[in-house]
Amino acid sequence: MPKAKYNYIYRDLKEKIETEYYAYQELLPSEHSLASEYGCSRNTVRRALAELTAEGCVQPMHGKGVRNIFQPVEQTSFTVGGIESFKESARRNKQNAFTRVLLFTELSADETIEKRTGFKAGTELYYLQRLRSLNGKPLILDHNYFLKNLVKGLTPEIASHSIYDYLEGELGITIATSKRTLTVEHVTQIDEKYIDMKDYNCMAVITSQTFDDNGVQFEFTQSRHRPDYFRFQDVATRRRG
Amino acid sequence: MPKAKYNYIYRDLKEKIETEYYAYQELLPSEHSLASEYGCSRNTVRRALAELTAEGCVQPMHGKGVRNIFQPVEQTSFTVGGIESFKESARRNKQNAFTRVLLFTELSADETIEKRTGFKAGTELYYLQRLRSLNGKPLILDHNYFLKNLVKGLTPEIASHSIYDYLEGELGITIATSKRTLTVEHVTQIDEKYIDMKDYNCMAVITSQTFDDNGVQFEFTQSRHRPDYFRFQDVATRRRG
DNA sequence: GCCGATTTGTCCGTATGTATC
DNA sequence: CGATACATACGGACAAATCGG
């Protein structure tokens, strides 16, 4: 969708990196030569490189060049990364996804909910519980709160497919950022009721607040994963100064 | 240390956001007016804003303005974020840190280690086990592998203080990026020997490969945290296209 | 050690496009 | 419609780091 030139260059470079057209640990062509290759300014090349740097695909070295440090990740379990719907994650992890809606209600936020979710008391919300299965095995239990004001006309039917498709496709909501916290918590009775926990007494828990492009929080979700099918990946860069 | 102008602007804006000089959900001054305020070009302001955006502090809105969406995080447990030494994390979390070196050896990587750590078989490594305590309670168990070639002259004495201080201060190594994977695993005998696990039978596990500014991996670490004192935070942005 | 060529890092001024109000 | 705001892109300038001769 974005017709931006830097975005095209970003995708092109990324493909050449992933397919090892540029070998691992090798230097990419200089910014100057990339600029003439793509017929653009050096700034535009630099912008594409900045994205690749943020993803940990390349490493720019002052005075030397830009090194390819991309390594493919193993995809054994269910890997979580950026903002994705369950469907998208499942497709990326090449797994068969199924969602069962356990609970679909509406409620008004009180002070307890405000403190936990970030929604002001009195706010009208949808509250859902959904059980996610991969290849037939129930492994993830989601508790979702959606802002009724913004996420209009939500139904159990939609919730059993993809709410994100509905938000972005039907309602024209632009999902912008998501603040996530990852913790490990004791299993609950609800967890044990729906998920075969084997001998684990803990769950990997992702809680997230998600905002649209107006800075309005429209979602709070707690996503509880069985440990052996959970993997979260991240590339961090060291902050100097 | 970075005397870059955009870095100064970034820090100045961040402080004004954190201290609510700019209120939550309010718009910042326009890029144009910030540029004249700081006596710089609009590009330089935009660069500072881009960093704040990546951190989830602000949200730029096309045609409208830039909204402050910073919310302070609760710091009850031990929160992990960017690349930090244990000491730095402890200071940020306002906790008293103590490190005990359980094991300090040298070894040569075999194929099992290569597969797990990313160090080629035959590579000479330091292998350490360290127990981390917060406010007197042992809570974290680290398994560290360091490249002997690069991390010269490591001693148990240094390992009991801060290896990162040693790397950056004494050896002049620049820490660049770290690829991290977060999983939840069963407790091991070693975990139970040193850490009071209460009734948890799982640990929050961060495994990380860390690279210097030449793209050379010099560290592989597995950091095992007791669940109730573990918290990982993250801001993700939705990728379009 | 010095010098010059190359490469990335920072910054500027300007122009144009697009969305909002 | 015009004014304002952010988004993209260009070309140029100089600084800082690296490397080879």
For residue A100, how far is the Cα from the chain centroid? 21
Mutate to test the interface with B, among A9, A238, A239, A240 (most CBs of B within 10 A): A238
- Chain B positions in Cβ-Cβ contact with residue A72 (cut-off 8 Å): none
Whether any strand D atom is under 7 angstroms from the Cβ of B61: the reply reads yes
Chain B within 8 Å of A187 (Cβ-Cβ)?
A: no
Give the bases of strand D that a protein CB approaches within 7 Å.
4-13, 16-19
Going by pLDDT thresholds of 50, 70 and 90, the confidence category of residue A76 is low
Query: A32 vs B161, which has greater pLDDT?
Result: A32
Q: Which residues 114-173 in chain A show a CB within 8 A of chain B?
A: 118
Counting beta carbons within 10 angstroms of the beta carbon of residue B218, is it exposed (0 to 12), middle (13 to 18) or buried (19 or more)?
buried
Mean pLDDT of A97-109: 95
Mean pLDDT of A82-92: 75
Determine the average pLDDT of the residues in A185-210. 96
**pLDDT less than 50: residues of chain B:** 241
Contacts of B54 (CB under 8 A, 6+ apart): A54, B235, B237
Are A234 and B199 an interchain contact pair (Cβ–Cβ within 8 Å)? Answer: no
Count of A-B CB contacts under 8 Å? 169
Closest CA to B132 of B167, B181, B95: B95
Q: C-alpha B93: how far from its chain's center?
A: 13
User: Which residue is closest to D9 in terms of CA–C1' distance?
Assistant: A44
Backbone phi, then psi, for B75, in 5-degree steps?
-115, 55
Q: Kindly list the residues from chain B whose CB atom is less than 8 angstroms away from the CB atom of residue A25.
A: 215
Q: Which of A138, A109, A123, A136 is nearest to A203 (CA)?
A: A138
Nearest-CA distance from A183 to chain B in Å? 5
| Nearest chain B Cα distance for residue A36, angstroms | 23
Nucleotide nearest to B30 (CA to C1'): D5
Q: Which nucleotides in chain C lie less than 7 Å from some protein C-beta? A: 6-14, 17-21
Q: How far apart are CA B206 and CA A232, in angstroms?
A: 9
* Summary mean pLDDT of chain A: 90
DSSP code string of B188-222: -HHHHHHS--TT--EEEEEEEEEEETTS-EEEEEE
Nearest chain B alpha carbon to A180? B234
Whether the pLDDT of residue A21 is over 80: the answer is yes
Q: Residue A241 pLDDT more than 50?
A: no
* Cα of B80 to nearest chain A Cα, Å: 10
- A167-186 pLDDT, tens digit each: 888 888 888 888 889 999 99
Strand D, CB < 7 A, residues 26-55 of B: 28, 30-33, 43, 46
Amino acid identity, position B93: N
List A residues 81-100 in contact with B (Cβ-Cβ < 8 A): 81-83
Asked whether A56 and B179 are in contact (CB, 8 A), the reply is yes
pTM for the full model? 0.86
Contact assignment for B239 to A83 by CB distance below 8 Å: yes
Subunit contact B183:A54, Cβ cutoff 8 A: no
CB distance from A54 to chain B under 8 Å?
yes
Distance CA A49, CA B54 (A): 16
Specify the higher pLDDT residue, A2 or B67.
B67
Greater confidence (A56 vs A44) lies with A44
- CB neighbours (10 Å) of residue A96? 11
A176 interfacial to chain B (CB closer than 8 Å): yes
Residue of chain A nearest B43, judged by CA positions: A43
Q: What is the spatial distance between Cα B188 and Cα B186, in angstroms, rounded to a whole number?
A: 6
Residue B24: closest CA among chain A residues belongs to which residue? A215
Q: What is the CA radius of gyration of chain B?
A: 21
How many angstroms is C1' of D21 away from CA of B60? 50
Stretch A34-57: mean pLDDT: 96
Confidence class for position A105, pLDDT limits 50, 70, 90: very high
Q: What is the pLDDT of residues B106-118, one digit of tens each?
A: 999 999 999 899 8
Chain A residues near residue B2 by CB distance under 8 angstroms: 240-241
Partner-chain residue, chosen from B59, B83, B184, that has the shortest CB–CB distance to A238 = B83
The reported pLDDT for the residue numbered B167 is: 87
Average pLDDT over residues A48-66: 94
- Partner residue facing A201 (CB), from B1, B201, B238: B201
- Residue by residue, what is the 3-state secondary structure of B106-169? EEECCHHHHHHHCCCCCCEEEEEEEEEEECCEEEEEEEEEEECCCCCCCCHHHHHCCHHHHHHH
Cα torsion for A78, A79, A83, A85, to the nearest 10°? Answer: -20
Q: Do A182 and B233 touch (CB under 8 A)?
A: yes
The Å distance, CA of B48 to C1' of D1, is 34
The residue type of A13 is L
Please state, in angstroms and rounded to a whole number, the distance separating the CA atoms of residues B40 and B66.
18
